[in-house]
Amino acid sequence: MSDFFSKLFDTSDFPARWHCGDWDPFHGWLHIVSDIAVWAAYFTIPLMLIHFARKKSSNILLNRVVFLFAAFILSCGTVHLIDAIIFYHPLYRLSGLTKLLTALVSWVTVFYLWRKIPGALELPELKAINSRLTDELERRRQAEIRAEMANRELKMLSSMVAHDLRNPLSSAVMMADLAVESSELRTSENLSMIADSLRAMNRQLESLKVDLKAGTPAAIEDVDLGALMGDVKAAVSSVILVKRGTLVWEDLPVAKADRDAIFHVCLNLVENALKYSGSADPEIRVSAVRSEDRVLLHFDDNGRGIDPDDRERVFGAGYRSDDSSDRDGHGMGLAFCRRILDEHGWKISAAESPLGGSRLTISLPASAVAGNDGN
């Protein structure tokens, strides 16, 4: 063994490869040039890998793999370089030793990879990248859902605009016709009602702000629901007059709410009661029932009522009952009412009224009533 290492660079025991066999120049130089080209590539690749690992990666496992792989490639390249040199200098002992070192480095790399590949699949960087991609996909999915919901609500809102403005406009036209044709009613009264209807249209336009700003913080204030019902009655006064109806309320609380939004809700409930009043003169009563933790606002009427199977479906967008074909509208009112009340944390439900028609009940927590917030 000592003799081997002492003669590691000794070339006297072997002839140069050119003198072993019948080499023609093309065949010999084909080997020499190819071995040198392979060595040059094998020398450059690990340098690039090491540079990348030092500059871009902070992962210790990845760095170790890169350095082992670089050593393996350098060893292979050195074998090819010595094979080219052997054509002139028969360094067969050095060639053998280099091949042994290449084999050792190769198998060390193999065993290291065998042990580390399972863990490498769980690299923190890969986890982080996967987590970011998952988060981004979820954000895009949520954005698509929000866009779809916004588009659907925009369509509902456009239908609601036509629905909400039709009633006061129809009332104004009706009273204008009466002012022209009727000798029983005074013109000043008719004109006053026309003005009330036009003011109602203006309020409807103002209430559209509620829908357009849905999802934004509401302007919460103390709202006297009794006074608010007075405004609702004024908005539908011409319809009540023509239908010979009544709208009464008693002992309504002061609630913490967005006034425009709750006016919009109450107006829809009263308009629906007038619209589906049936053959009898419409009677609408609004009352409040207080308990320890809730306040219930009942909107009772003596109209057609709501079929028990439909008492939840009426709050769906676009729902219209089978007997509503003779009534204007798009079935959007109660859907918007529920949405607005949900944003307040309030609830709405339908039941049978003691008056024989429908009872729409708004349920709000006692803390939403002024004076019951614990202050």
pTM: 0.49
Task: State residue 50's pLDDT score.
Answer: 76
Task: State residue 330's pLDDT score.
Answer: 41
Task: State residue 331's pLDDT score.
Answer: 42
In tens, the pLDDT along 290-334 reads 988 999 999 999 998 999 989 998 888 766 665 554 444 444 578
H-assigned helices in 244-369? 259-275, 333-344
H-assigned helices in the chain? 2-6, 25-56, 60-85, 92-120, 124-181, 187-212, 225-235, 237-243, 259-275, 333-344
Other residues' Cβ atoms within 10 Å of the Cβ of residue 214:
16
Please state the separation of Cα 237 from the chain's center in Å: 43
The domains found in the chain, sorted by start residue, are 2-122 (no CATH), 136-368 (3.30.565.10)
248 in Cβ contact with 285 (< 8 Å): yes
Task: State residue 262's pLDDT score.
Answer: 92
Strands 254-258 vs 358-365: parallel, antiparallel or unpaired: unpaired
Among candidate residues 224, 235, 227, the one with its CA nearest the CA of residue 198? 235
Task: State residue 334's pLDDT score.
Answer: 86
At 117, list the tokens: 């590949």
In tens, the pLDDT along 158-195 reads 666 666 666 666 666 666 666 666 555 555 666 666 66
Task: State residue 347's pLDDT score.
Answer: 95
116 in Cβ contact with 65 (< 8 Å): yes
Residues of the chain with pLDDT under 70: 53, 55-63, 117-127, 152-218, 318-332, 372-375
CA angle 182, 185, 187 (to 5 degrees): 85
In tens, the pLDDT along 16-32 reads 888 888 888 898 899 89
Among candidate residues 141, 143, 75, 137, the one with its CA nearest the CA of residue 104? 75
At 64, list the tokens: 């170790």
Cα separation, 99 vs 93, in Å, equals 10
Among candidate residues 217, 229, 214, 342, the one with its CA nearest the CA of residue 286? 229
Cα separation, 52 vs 235, in Å, equals 75
160 in Cβ contact with 268 (< 8 Å): no
244 in Cβ contact with 230 (< 8 Å): no
